[in-house]
Amino acid sequence: SGNDLQKHLRAQCYSEQIRKQIFESTAHIEDSKHRLAIQGILWRNKILFDPTPSIINISPQSAIRTSDHPPIYSKPYPASTKDQQIKFQETQKLLERGHIEESTSPWSSPIVLVKKKDKTMRFCIDYRRLNAVTIKDAFPLPRIDEIFDQLSDATYYTKFDFKSGYFQVPLSKEDRPKTAFSTRDNHYQFTVLPQGITNGPATFQRVINHMLGPTRWKYALAYIDDVIIYSKTFEEHLSHLNEICTILKNAQFRLNPEKCEIARTQTDYLGHRIQNGEIRPSPTNIHGLINTRLPQTADEA
């Protein structure tokens, strides 16, 4: 049928795109045998780089406990015709991907559009009032100094960047109504972990810790959605990379290939540059500090 042909052509196009991304991400590896070995692992796990949105196969997460607090309703913020159009377009994308669904919830938080560096608008929900009544999840994030202590003994590093990581985590049906928001035409709620909720980081950390299991603190770590694989030798790195790719593939995670770094001897992680056992502040951050404009007036100060 026509639909089957479209799917086949789309799959072919995606495979070619993924092949190109794998070649580009491994082009820096000078030893051809090493390069081919890494490419083989990535190609066997190429579904990780599929651009089609995916929701991981775990039980839905409870992230918004509000005890018996009554529903909070916030009126939508005023918006121009242009902004209303952006809201409509963004909600349509979220609907198509299965990230939101229509809602009859008494809860509602307002939409905000935040201007990005490239002048486009980021679609966000202002969850401040919801966050104020949410019971905080005390699940720990790893200590950054302990992470760097682990990484300093390694030689090879691979960094994985999740494609809209929060949106890959299913949200419990009990929590969904609390995430509700309105456009001028409809009322929606999230089916996945929304950005901007107070327990988002703790919830994602719990999920990724569970996924990585006993590999954590041995050769893989994650600070929320920043995953890093670290090894002393290239042979070890092949084994470690294969193991983590398999774990993430089985969970149905999706990665953003443009932001992944594969088998590097130097990498930037959590604002620091790591190379030859040395960990220093990232040059990008130093450059930003040096070029920060000093306040010129009392008001600016």
Token code pair at residue 165: 């990581």
Q: How many helices (H) and strands (E) does the chain have?
A: 8, 12
Q: Is the pLDDT confidence value at 5 over 80?
A: no
Q: Which of 112, 97, 220 is nearest to 170 (CA)?
A: 97
Mean pLDDT, residues 2-25 taken together? 74
The per-residue pLDDT for range 196-247, each reduced to its tens digit, is 999 999 999 999 999 999 999 999 999 999 999 999 999 999 999 999 999 9
Q: Which residues contact 191 (CB under 8 A, 6 or more apart)?
A: 55, 98, 99, 100, 101, 170, 171, 176
Percent of the chain residues past pLDDT 90, beyond the cut: 82
CA distance 6 to 152: 48
Query: What is the per-residue pLDDT across 264-281, written as a single tens digit (0 to 9) for each?
Result: 999 999 999 999 888 999
What is the DSSP-derived secondary structure letter of residue 126?
-
% pLDDT > 70, the chain: 90
| DSSP summary character for residue 257 | G
Among 3.40.50.150, 3.30.70.270, 3.40.50.1220, 3.60.20.40, name the CATH number for the domain at 2-54+142-170+198-290.
3.30.70.270
User: For 20-66, what is each residue's pLDDT tens digit?
Assistant: 999 999 999 999 999 999 999 999 999 999 988 999 999 999 999 99
DSSP 171: B
**pLDDT digit string, tens, across residues 165-191:** 999 999 999 999 999 999 999 999 999
pLDDT-based confidence at residue 289 (cuts at 50, 70, 90)? very low
Quick one: pLDDT band at residue 10, thresholds 50, 70, 90?
low
Q: What does the mean pLDDT of the chain come to?
A: 91
Q: 251 is written with which tokens?
A: 């969970």
User: What gap in Å lies between CA 225 and CA 254, rounded to an integer?
Assistant: 12
The confidence score (pLDDT) of residue 295 equals 59
Entry pTM: 0.88
pLDDT at 24: 94
Residues 232, 43: Cα–Cα separation, whole Å: 23
- Domain positions in the chain are 2-54+142-170+198-290
Specify the pLDDT at position 45. 96
| Mean pLDDT of the 291-295 span | 55
Confidence band, pLDDT 50/70/90 cuts, at residue 11: low
- Single out the residue of 26, 8, 16 nearest to residue 50, CA to CA: 16
102: Cβ contacts below 8 Å, ≥ 6 apart: 186, 187, 188
pLDDT recorded at residue 230: 97
